[in-house]
Copies of this chain bind each other. A is one copy, B any other.
Amino acid sequence: MIVRLADGQRAGKVPEVSSELTSRLGYLLKHAQEELRARSNAALAHHGIDGRELAVLIVLASGEPASQQEAAARLGVDRTTMVALLDVLEHKDLVARTPDAHDRRRNVVELTAAGRIALQRGRKTTDEVEREFLAPLSQRAAEQFRGALRALVVRD
């Protein structure tokens, strides 16, 4: 799977990306994220979803059944963004909206049977993609890398 070196960046004199740039933390983080996202989406496409949609499925499967707004909060996006995400997932029959009996303004959003299957497969697939992505590191280094990232992001 040669994704990164595609395009016209191969023939003739290849103007390399500036080395000062590639030593910047911002550059490294951005490209690591983009590479992992591309790989994840390519692998998840076999199950008819992408990484963002899998994240929604994960959020809906965690904790109690959620309204759209609660799901949006758990995912960390705006409620208007959640509308569009759920439109797609509902159309794929992976989630179902049901009016809340106790508060008819709300929709309770839950996974369908197909949604639970897609979730299971998506988890397994992204686990594999993560392992491949981290392959250049020793197992110990990979664990330390993950731990460092968690310390940087979760802080507080």
Contacts and interface: CB of A to CB of B under 8 A. Distances in A.
Interface of A: 2, 6-7, 9, 14-33, 35-37, 40, 51, 55, 58-59, 62-64, 66, 70, 73-76, 102, 126, 130, 133-134, 136-137, 141-142, 144-146, 148-155
Q: Which label, helix, strand, loop or mixed, suits the secondary structure of the A interface?
A: helix
12 contacts: A6-B66, A7-B63, A7-B74, A21-B62, A21-B74, A25-B36, A29-B33, A30-B37, A35-B152, A35-B153, A142-B148, A148-B148
A15 B133 contact: no
Contacts of A23: 150
Contacts of A30: 33, 37
Contacts of A63: 6-7, 18
Nearest to A7: B63
